[in-house]
Amino acid sequence: IIKSIINKCPRCVHYKNSDRKTPLDVAIDNQSSIEIIATLLLYNPITKTTKLKWFPWYQLLFKKKTPYSSHRVYGPLIQMLQSTSYDSIVRLHICGDGGAGKTTLKRSILANINSHFTYKVSESKRTIGLEIESFTDRGIKWIVYDYGGQEEYHINHSRFLRTNNSIYVIVMNLCEFIGSNGETLQVPIPLTNVKILELSGRYKYWLKFINVSTSTNGCNAHVITCLNGKSFIKNKEIINNVNQMILNIQSQWMNDSEHHNHIEFINDKNGILLIDSIYTSSIRFKVLPILRNEAMKLKLKSNNNFQFVENMLVIRDTTSALVDVCRRSELLTFISNTFTTILSNNLRYDLSEASIAQLDMIGEILILNHYDGDDPLVITNPNKLSCNILGEIAKALKERRNQLLRDNRYMGL
């Protein structure tokens, strides 16, 4: 609303009330949220005589100094906000069974963002637990969640799937890339009819998993389905059958009244996306355009996201100043102490609250709201928890279970 008013009447930010205070002064005095204060700071026209007919506000944003840039209190705040903001933050969740090519798909996406000259990326090792990476593309900050496909990791995934501004990619294989003993096959084997039926069941499983995990968001999950390994399939009938099978499942899902649907399917004009995750051209011309298009839709629905939380992530990842688990009040105090003392205590508190909300929203911290009431525990490094701790525990438990099964067979049990 404030942005709309300033756009219609840019001079209103200079108007003063009977106490000779501007809207920004009133916002500061009333301890308004940091989003409101930031909007009044960042969306100020440069001078009273600026003609927005030729210089619309969205072109002025972050370009030159505002009237408050030299202010003792507002100056440091606006400098921080101007130099650290994103148009939007979008979360990309890459889901699917183990060995489906999820991590390879992620690496192909990153290769396309960083360079148009990469032809092929190497296949990667299996993901343990969950890996979180980020990159910036066309003013949008992307947080990429690469989920380990093995079932022992799934119980931990639901904590990260339920985030706003998210796009979900389900990767399914058209071939078997992994042998019965866990080895990587040099020549992938096309799916048999039995395997295609199993693929159908696994696809429904991931749809239910995403639907349940995102049911508390209040918004639909944008789901893109990718069938990986098309170049290894010589029989086009197999591709057509799998493509039609997935489309039929989607149609049945949308018409099923037994569940509360929170999924919106995103397909291309030919149906399901057919890709080869190791070849960057396959991703550049099929996956990236759809991802960017969906990100723009989400951007229009979201407000600016301030990335002063990046300072916290640098501190967390490069020093031992922040413990892995702490109380929410302790994290609030820690963040508040990182801001300049020129700012008032109220502003520093608002910035700290906004930082915690932002960190929680993008999955960089995990707040256990179900425990300890008003001051819950906070996991400050979920990636470390998922990969280094839970992932290794799950891996060890699986190895122990397999060893017991082998021992039982040996003993004739």
Q: Are residues 109 and 199 in the same domain?
A: yes
**Could you tell me if 54 and 98 lie in one domain?**
no
**What span, in angstroms and rounded, lies between the C-alpha atoms of 143 and 363?**
8
272-294 core/surface letters (b: 16 or more CB in 10 A; e: else) = bbbbbbbbbebbbebbbebbeeb
Q: Are 288 and 244 in a shared domain? A: yes
CATH code of 290's domain: 3.40.50.300
Same domain as 165, residue 125:
yes
Kindly state whether residue 410 falls inside one of the protein's structural domains: no
* pLDDT computed for residue 57 by the predictor: 38
Do 190 and 223 reside in the same domain of the chain? yes
Among the ranges given (71-80, 118-127, 147-156), the one the predictor scored with the smallest mean pLDDT: 118-127
Residue 387 DSSP label: I
Mean pLDDT within 131-140 = 82
DSSP 335: H
293 within some domain: yes
The answer to whether position 323 is within a domain reads yes
Domain assignment present for 147: yes
Q: Is residue 95 part of a domain?
A: yes
Q: Look at residues 263, 280, 301 and tell me which one is the last residue of a structural domain.
A: 301
Does 113 lie in the same domain as 56? Answer: no
Domain extent at residue 10: 2-83
* Predicted local distance difference test score (pLDDT) of residue 309: 65
Among residues 246, 273, 301, which one ends one of the domains?
A: 301
Stated pTM of the model? 0.68
Q: Considering its fold, how many domains does the chain have in total? A: 3
- Residues 29, 93, single domain; the answer is no
Residues 38, 174 within the same domain:
no
Q: For residue 296, tell me if it sits in a domain.
A: yes
Answer yes or no: do 273 and 324 share one domain: no
Say how far apart CA 13 and CA 15 lie, in whole Å: 6
pLDDT tens per residue across span 328-375: 898 888 888 877 666 777 777 877 887 787 777 666 788 877 655 678
Classify residue 192 by its DSSP letter.
Answer: P
Last residue of a domain, one of 56, 83, 110: 83
Length of the chain: 413
Residue 232 sits in the same domain as residue 93: yes
Residues 29 and 48 grouped into a single domain: yes
Asked if 214 and 254 touch (Cβ cutoff 8 Å), the reply is no
172-217 pLDDT, tens digit per residue, is 888 877 766 666 667 777 778 888 888 899 999 889 888 887 766 6
Same-domain status, 361 and 230: no
Residue 390 lies in a domain: no
Q: What is the pLDDT of residues 294-333, one digit of tens each?
A: 888 887 666 556 666 666 777 777 777 777 888 889 888 8
Tokens of 388: 């280094």
Q: Is residue 405 part of a domain?
A: no
